[in-house]
Amino acid sequence: MKINIKPKTTPTNLLNQLRSLGYEIPAPCAGNGTCGKCHLKILNPKVITEADKRHLSEKQLEEGYRLSCTYPVMEETNLFLETSKLEIISDVHLPDNTASLTGHACAIDIGTTSVVMSFMDCDKNKLLKTITFSNPQSSYGADVISRITYAENNLDILVKVIRRPISEAIQSFVLEYGTLNHIYVSGNTTMNQLFMGLSISSLGLYPFDFQLKDLEHIDIDDFTYTVIPGLSAFVGGDILSGIVECDFINTSDTSLLIDLGTNGEMALSHKSKIYTTSTAAGPVFEGISLSCGMQAKAGAIYDYDGNSHTIDKEEPKGICGTGTISTVAYLSKNGLIDATGRFIDKFQDEDKYYLTDNIYISQGDIRAIQTAKSAIRTGIEILLDTADIQAEDVKNIYISGGFGKYVSLKALCDIDILPSTFLDKTRTIGNSSLNGAIKLMYTNNKKVIEEIISRNQTVSLSDHPKFQDYFMDYMYF
């Protein structure tokens, strides 16, 4: 898509100007020129910055690519924006309509990286459509911490950019179907509070208090949204919805739910307790922040076994979350990295391993993946310790997240994200946040929310005496 940008009275960079026009540009570093993800193809660019030289190849520079966060709009500028659909596998399923809902309904999962909206006909108990799009707040930071920081002086911007595409999708649905009677929203604590327009400053400061502790309702543009509460500052309504979806309340089996996303939230159900925590895995599993990382879109490498396998079988454009996992598992299994994650000698000059002619995984990427995988595994071990059980005692392991269709459970075990004893007891369940929200809406069961909150015990990983030991141990392959 070709776009024409005219300079403003007050000069600004291209990223800020595109943001002001409503365009979603990936910028995990919040536009600080350090991640290189906001590059765009500009027709006849006038400037090459030092940041461009650091992050872009000579070929890219010759083709007109520049970082939008450092490109000054001093005159009329023409550029190209690539558009492609996110490949988020929601696997939506509708429960019995025991609440006797009528009309049309919508369930929304607001993730740190992406948003999923499903629309239903309650009278026919039929799924009408599911749409997905990148969370536009990603332009202001890849994770919740960066957004908490940005919101200190720009709360209204983050509220506006997340409400706008959701409201547009709602309005579009109503134009097509006539009515929309029920809307439930699920997401982590930061995303939900931002959607409601609530301050999130306390989420970044000890004692990390949060406001959304009960089922809340908010009116936006003539529609009433019901927002699902969180369990703590870093374990939100998305995990509460996931607990509902996995039916922890009504099962006696010891079960573990892991959301392989930016926040790495998890919940362990054992006897009468539900232990929850958040691991701050970062955006690696979402395909963000890596040298050639991208979200799960057409052309993304989702699996690597010596050959690259891409979504929709298109030419490789980058590596998404599942692709990073399978690539690291391949490198480790074939001795191309050692136990510390270091490349073997033949790759050390460049510190890169090429999957294709121009798509690679770097030594820095390996380190980021190690940190994320250790964070997840450390969270698992500390939850098990807190419940005073072993990995063998867990009967059911559920992996939630948008890339469930593509993730290799064996690869997760091979690189020690999961204990090896989990392999035959683990299954992917797609978007448990979305499906749990639908279940809550269809049953109108407020008591189950109260029951989950009463059983919850939030576990602080950093306070556990073995936290440092576990974290260092699981950095290794």
In order, the DSSP letters of 80-100 are E-----B-----------TT-
**pLDDT, tens digit, 9 for 90 and up, residues 147-157:** 999 999 999 99
What tokens were used for 441?
Answer: 């809406």
- Return the CATH number of 104-244, one of 3.40.50.300, 3.40.50.920, 1.10.3720.10, 3.30.420.480: 3.30.420.480
What average pLDDT score do residues 239-258 get?
A: 96
Q: In 3-state terms, what secondary structure has residue 431?
A: coil
Mean pLDDT of the chain: 91
* Residues 332 and 326: beta-carbon distance below 8 Å: no
**pLDDT, tens digit, 9 for 90 and up, residues 181-195:** 999 999 999 999 999
d(CA 238, CA 440): 12
**pLDDT at 348 > cutoff 80:** no
d(CA 93, CA 255): 21
Q: What is the DSSP letter of 8?
A: P
d(CA 48, CA 64): 10
**pLDDT, tens digit, 9 for 90 and up, residues 392-410:** 999 999 999 866 667 899 9
Strands (E), 228-264: 255-259
pLDDT of residue 188: 95
* Residues 210 and 189: beta-carbon distance below 8 Å: yes
What count of Cα atoms within 13 Å lies in the side-chain half-sphere of residue 451? 13
**pLDDT, tens digit, 9 for 90 and up, residues 33-87:** 888 888 899 998 989 999 999 988 888 899 999 999 999 998 899 988 875 554 4
Q: Where are the domains of the chain?
A: 2-80, 104-244
Q: What percent of the chain shows pLDDT beyond 90?
A: 73
> In the block, which residue shows the tokens 């009960």?
214
Angle at 476 (CA atoms; ends 473, 477), nearest 5 degrees? 135
**pLDDT, tens digit, 9 for 90 and up, residues 86-132:** 445 557 889 888 888 999 999 999 999 889 999 999 999 999 999 98
d(CA 406, CA 402): 9
Give whole-number Cα distances, 29 to 160, 203, 283, in Å: 20, 20, 11
pLDDT of residue 126: 94
Amino acid occupying residue 376: I
- Return the CATH number of 2-80, one of 3.40.50.150, 3.30.1330.20, 1.10.3720.10, 3.10.20.30: 3.10.20.30
**pLDDT, tens digit, 9 for 90 and up, residues 310-332:** 999 999 999 999 999 999 999 99
